Amino acid sequence: MPISWPLPTSEFIDVLPIKSLTSRPGRAASSSEAGDGSVLYHQRGARLWQGQITLDLDFHDVWASVDATLSLLEEPGASFLFKDPRMTGPIADPQKTILGSAVAVIAALSNNAHELSLSGLPAGYILQRGDLLGFTYGADPTRHAYHRVFAGGVANLAGELADLAVVPKIRKGAQIGAPVTLGDPVLKATLKQSDYGSSRATVSEGGSFEWVQTLR
């Protein structure tokens, strides 16, 4: 089978024996102290999502497959799609049964890059603090926006939900009309470093890896 990047979730994240994981946007800031004792913070780059996945005890044949994929992802230019396995849908609709076949789209974007409005939702649909959402933008490469809701709301009778506040900031390139994945979006990531763990006769354990979002 030809290899293409990024690896889909079905080839990596979905089949991992996960024991624990972290996922958060990096702060990407430095600080300095002024003469009056105040601390000043300076943005020094994009706030990229990053985290660590620790793998659970499993039979070695499962781990052999994981080892092969980790080795592949250590190649220069390799990437994979990450999604948070703890989130299968919005908090108020974890199986997306209320959402059904409805497709949310970006209806408006604010100048402050923290807020957006959606349309195409079922009337009364709820998004709340902690929910994930994402969409794609740009071309060559296609970029994956990935955000967590800070201030949510309830869709009106027309299926519109105004002024959702999200973190981190929405990057340039987002377009009105773009379809939005609610609850279980994906982002494009690369490996930072990996630990292959150790094995006994039939089982392996102790492996982990760190990942970071890439916009390339």
> Tokens in use for 47?
């706030």
The string of pLDDT tens digits covering residues 162-215 is 999 999 999 999 999 999 999 999 999 999 988 877 777 777 777 899 999 999
- The domain defined by 9-83+188-213 carries CATH number 3.30.70: no
9-83+188-213 and 104-185 agree in CATH topology: no
- The domain defined by 104-185 carries CATH number 2.40.30: yes
The three-state DSSP-derived secondary structure of the chain is CCCCCCECHHHCHHHCCEEEECCEECCCEEEEECCCCCEEEEECCCCCEEEEEEECCEEHHHHHHHHHHHHHHCCCCCCEEECCCCCCCCCCCCCCCCCCCCCEEEEEECCCCCEEEEECCCCCCEECCCCEEEEEECCCCCEEEEEEEEECEECCCCCCEEEEEEECCCCCCCCCCCEEEECCCCEEEEEEEEECCEECCCEEECCEEEEEECCC
**Residue ranges of the chain with per-residue pLDDT less than 50:** none
> Tokens in use for 142?
């296609």
pTM: 0.89
Enumerate the domain spans of the chain.
Answer: 9-83+188-213, 104-185
